[in-house]
A and B are shown apart, each in its own frame.
Chain A
Amino acid sequence: MSVLNVTVANVEQITDVVKRFTFVQENGEALPKFSGGSHVVVSMNINGRTHRNPYSLMSSPANTESYQIAVRRQDNSRGGSVFMHEQVKPGTKLTITYPVNLFAINRLGKKHILVAGGIGITPFMSQIADLNRLGADYELHYAYRSAEHAAFRQELEALCGDRVHFYVEDDGSRIDFGDLLSHQPLGTHAYVCGPEPMVKLMLLTAKHLGWPSNHVHSEQFSAPPIGDEFTVILTESEKEIVVPGDMSMLEAMEEAGVDAPFLCRGGACGRCELEVVETDGALLHHDHYLSDAEKTAGNKILPCVSRAKCTRLVVNL
């Protein structure tokens, strides 16, 4: 997969736990164009092991001089965000993938309802640049924990004017999805990015209010959870690979030199899907891509975030 070599031009502390990083291309050239809602996968070398995390681009698509991402520090995870916060400084060199968009604005929409929870605000910041340019009708509803977690609030006020609405959880202010989704004009599309309970609540509310599923869009990137060690057996490349508890199946395969397909690495796009031939245990699905029926059937797995509780898992690769 072709990659972009970038240099970190700027690092800003936005809140206690959020930093914004500005990347420019190492060779000084402009970066590839992208559309609002796109993400890139950032590679990090942590203790000799390659971590790859997806982050939404939050800068304006009109600007190809630099890309910006925001990273929320997650202390109880595998260390990608902590590495970004502690090790990445202006001048650090990183490799990122070309931008990919799994969360695009529907251009045929008459109106757009954007709903963000916490760091889920980032993809909307590049989408809003597009929506403003198109002169589209939209509303942004942004919920966060407390005043000190109000990342980018002033920028959003400047970008969106009275189209943005803030909800501060500690003040008891919550988004009322039933109210929000029950009086939108025909042709409205709704988009949500944030913590899983929020995403699920909005999807469920929209469904019960008769919104067709192709008018409701969501994006969630999961980090691969930590689990138990197991062995994956690749039938075509005839390899046996041990997946340690703190590594994803995809990372373990890459470490073993297998050229496995991937795109988002967050369980959203389905590009890395593998056929499960057999296992002596249970699959632990953590993706947002497979349907519930597919997950239950147990013959497919997304190795970027999902793993297995077993001794051996045989996949067709």
Chain B
Amino acid sequence: MERGYRIRSKPLYDPLIWEEHATDHVVIAYAEGGIGVLKLFQQMTPKEPIKVLFADDEHAQRSYHDIISKLVDEGLQILDDKEGVLSAVSATLDECVMGTQFYIAGNEDFIWAASQILKSAGVDDKNIMKEQCGSLARPVYCVHCKTIDPEVHHNVYTCPGCGRHLFVRDHFSRRLGAYMGLMVDAEEPGNIPDVEEIYP
């Protein structure tokens, strides 16, 4: 990897911290994002109204909703799954006014799925606090057939849409909420580099 060089579109994430000047707080989390919620509630809890929308990953071994229910005493909605959280976000937006601070915790696919719902309501992702939790799996967009694979763990993977072998780049599209995946053996069909898990 070239040193002293970065792809500017690659998003960087920070731990969630309560925003001092908000009038309302909405925390959106899924699966391992539960850790982000728990860390947030270890800080001094703000006085303003708080809403927490959370679902466990039903297939995961670890669940967080019990602990979160004990810590969050108001405004908590435990949903069934990821889709449940995302539709609860949509349902919440109409009541929200300027001054509401949004927090998202989860893997990268979830962070950007939730960000896109907020964006449709006019919330700029720069103003959303985002914490990446759990897996480093990347959502990747196939530039050839436009299929997005929500969780890619390897440097090279097979596109579920067109079957091409795609190389995962660092270039990230905020509009699509995904990294760019590019055919790796276009010039020499079958010449595929070693496949390694680099986004565990």
A contact residues vs B (CB 8 Å cutoff): 108-110, 181-188, 207-212, 214-215
Task: Assess the A215–B126 pair: CB atoms within 8 A.
Answer: no
Alpha-carbon gap, A263 to B118, bound state (A): 37
B107 contacts partner chain A, Cβ-Cβ < 8 Å: no
A151 to chain B, nearest CB (A): 29
**Residue in B98, B122, B126 whose CB lies within 8 Å of A211:** B98
Report the Cα distance A132→B126, complex, angstroms.
28
Q: With CB as the reference atom, state the residue of chain B lying closest to A209.
A: B99
Least CB distance, B54 to chain A, in whole angstroms: 21
Contact flags (1/0) for B131-149 with A, using CB distance below 8 Å? 0000000000000000000
Given A182-B99, A209-B98, A210-B101, decide whether A187 and B23 contact each other with a Cβ distance below 8 A: no
With A183-B97, A185-B98, A188-B98 in contact, do A209 and B23 touch (Cβ < 8 Å)? Answer: yes
Contact B21 A188, beta carbon cutoff 8 Å: no
User: What separation, in Å, do the CA atoms of A186 and B102 have in the docked complex?
Assistant: 11
Known: A182-B97, A211-B99. A188 touches B122 (CB 8 A): yes
Interchain CB contact under 8 A, B127 and A186: no
Chain B 89-128, CB within 8 Å of chain A: the 1/0 string? 0000100111111000000000000000010011110110
With A181-B98, A209-B99, A210-B98 as contacts: A186 and B22 at CB distance below 8 Å: no
Q: Quick one: which of B98, B99, B123 has the most chain A CB within 10 A?
A: B98
Residues of B contacting A208 in the complex (Cβ-Cβ under 8 angstroms)? 21
Residue of A nearest to B99 (CB): A210
Contacts of B99 in A (CB 8 A): 181-182, 209-211
Q: Are the CB atoms of B98 and A184 closer together than 8 Å?
A: yes
B19: Cβ under 8 A from any A Cβ: yes
Bound complex: CA A287 to CA B98 (Å): 29
Supposing A210-B19, A210-B21, A214-B127 touch, asked if A109 and B98 sit within 8 A by C-beta, the answer is no
A181 to B123, CA, bound (A): 16
- Asked if residues B124 and A110 are in contact (CB atoms below 8 Å), the reply is no
Most buried by A among B24, B100, B122, B123: B122
The answer to whether residues A214 and B126 also contact, given A110-B121, A207-B21 and a CB cut-off of 8 A, is yes
- Of the A-B pairs whose beta carbons lie under 8 Å apart in the complex, a sample of 25, sorted by A's number, is A108-B122, A108-B124, A110-B122, A181-B99, A182-B99, A183-B97, A185-B96, A186-B93, A186-B97, A186-B100, A186-B121, A186-B122, A187-B121, A188-B98, A188-B122, A208-B21, A209-B23, A209-B98, A210-B19, A210-B21, A210-B24, A211-B98, A212-B124, A212-B126, A215-B127
Question: Count the A-B residue pairs with Cβ separation under 8 angstroms: how many?
Answer: 58
Bound CA span A108–B93, Å: 17
- When distances are taken between beta carbons in the complex, the residues of chain A under 8 Å from B21 are 207-210
The closest CB in chain B to the CB of A211 belongs to B98
Residues on A with beta carbons closer than 8 Å to the beta carbon of B98: 181, 184-188, 209-211, 215
B89 to chain A, nearest CB (A): 12
Closest 10 pairs between A and B when the two form their complex, measured CB to CB? A187-B122, A210-B99, A210-B22, A110-B122, A212-B127, A184-B98, A186-B121, A209-B99, A210-B21, A210-B23
Kindly state the separation between the CA atoms of A207 and B22 in the bound complex, as whole angstroms. 9
Name which residue of chain B comes closest to A181, CB basis. B98
Q: How near does chain A come to B179, taking the closest CB pair, in angstroms? A: 23
Please indicate the chain B residues that have their CB under 8 angstroms from the CB of A207 in the complex.
21
B122 cross-chain contacts in A, Cβ below 8 A: 108-110, 185-188
- Bound form: Cα–Cα A138–B84 in Å: 34
Complex Cα spacing A39 to B182, Å: 45
Q: How far is the CA of A188 from the CA of B98 in the complex (A)?
A: 7
Q: What CA separation (Å) do A29 and B84 show in the bound complex?
A: 60
Distance in Å: Cβ of B27 to nearest Cβ of chain A:
15
The residues in B between 6 and 54 inclusive whose CB is less than 8 angstroms from any CB of A are 19, 21-24
Chain B residues in 8 Å Cβ range of A186: 93, 96-98, 100, 118, 121-123
Residues of A near B126 (CB, < 8 A) are: 212, 214
| Least CB separation from B93: chain A residue | A186
Closest to A216 in B: B98
Q: How far is the CA of A266 from the CA of B21 in the complex (A)?
A: 31
Closest to A183 in B: B97
Smallest CB separation, A211 vs chain B (Å): 6
Please give the distance in Å from B83's CB to the nearest CB on chain A.
22
Residue in contact with A182 in the complex, picked from B23, B96, B118, B121, CB distance below 8 Å = B23
Q: Are B123 and A187 in contact (CB under 8 A)?
A: yes
CA distance A215 to B21 in the complex (A): 15
What residues of chain A lie closer than 8 Å to B121, measured between beta carbons? 110, 186-187
What is the CB-to-nearest-CB distance from B192 to chain A, in angstroms, rounded to a whole number? 41
CB distance from B48 to the nearest CB of A (A): 9
Most central of B100, B101, B127 by chain A CB within 10 Å: B127
- Inter-subunit contact A185/B124 (CB<8 Å): no
Nearest B residue to A215 via CB reads: B98
